[in-house]
Amino acid sequence: EDQVTQSPEALRLQEGESSSLNCSYTVSGLRGLFWYRQDPGKGPEFLFTLYSAGEEKEKERLKATLTKKESFLHITAPKPEDSATYLCAVQDEDKLTFGGGTRVLVKP
Amino acid sequence: DAGVTQSPTHLIKTRGQHVTLRCSPISGHKSVSWYQQVLGQGPQFIFQYYEKEERGRGNFPDRFSARQFPNYSSELNVNALLLGDSALYLCASSLGLLEAFFGQGTRLTVV
């Protein structure tokens, strides 16, 4: 059975304090690894898809990387508007399996 | 372009009742998936439909059912509601079977 574990569960950062979120996964046949951002009471917002080990993608202050067993979401010089829950998911066949998410709070 | 739209946005139901949630995918997307997200947890897969056929089913009881219509919109039905069915229900659409884009969700409260 596919498993996705995200750490830490929560992260408090000062504005400008860079950090990384971890997503460890076990999947029989990885078709893609996805990162989403979710604001309270809203649906997840698509950020990145990574397909193979060594792949990297960037968007503004966010950078996602992928290895054979884990993915990292690096947040560089975060701003308060980066506060959200970040979800990682793996796709195996027809479904996405999500981790529990990392709640990020960026204080000014 | 319109994103994934879900209706209603919120609703309150009583234990034992039935509920129908609706989803319209992004124009051109033929795949619709449903997820349940309990507060503080990641979304859990319920169903996937592609070209009006069920392609996958998660570990949910038979009280949960879904269907996809010729225009690719979808309905999720839940019978005999339990308190534990209270959650945010998310619909996602995708072009083919890859990158999924989510709607804003339907917040269901069972009392």
- Structural domains of chain A, count: 1
Beta strands in chain B (DSSP E): 5-7, 10-13, 19-24, 31-37, 44-50, 53-57, 64-68, 74-78, 87-94, 100-102, 106-110
> Would you say residue B1 has pLDDT above 70?
no
State how far residue A5 is from chain B, nearest Cα, in angstroms.
10
Check CB contact under 8 Å for B100 and A96.
yes
CB contact at 8 A, A44 and B90:
yes
Tell if the CB–CB gap between B105 and A42 is shorter than 8 Å. yes
**Average pLDDT in chain A:** 94
The DSSP code for A82 is G
Q: What is the CATH number of the domain that holds A15?
A: 2.60.40.10
Q: Give one word for A20, left, alpha or beta, with left for phi > 0 and alpha for psi -120 to 50.
A: beta
pLDDT score, position B95: 83
**Nearest CB partner across the interface for A95, out of B6, B41, B56:** B56
pLDDT tens-digit readout, A29-50 = 788 999 999 999 999 999 999 9
Domains and CATH numbers, chain B: 5-110 (2.60.40.10)
Are A94 and B58 within 8 A, CB to CB?
Answer: no
In the predicted model, is pLDDT for residue A14 greater than 70?
A: yes
Dihedral of the alpha carbons of A67, A70, A74, A80, in degrees to the nearest 10: 160
List the domain range (segments joined by +) for residue A70: 3-107
* Chain position carrying tokens 């392609």: B55
- Out of A6, A89, A94, whose CB is closest to B97? A94
Q: Choose, out of A3, A23, A35, A96, the residue to mutate when testing the contact with B (most B CBs < 10 Å).
A: A96
Confidence of residue B99 (pLDDT cuts 50, 70, 90): confident
* Cα separations in angstroms, B77 against B29, B47, B65: 21, 11, 5
Q: Which of A49, A93, A99 sits opposite B42 (nearest CB)?
A: A99
Alpha-carbon gap, residue B22 to B20, rounded angstroms: 7
**Two tokens at A81?**
């508007």
Strand bridging mode B74-78 / B19-24: antiparallel
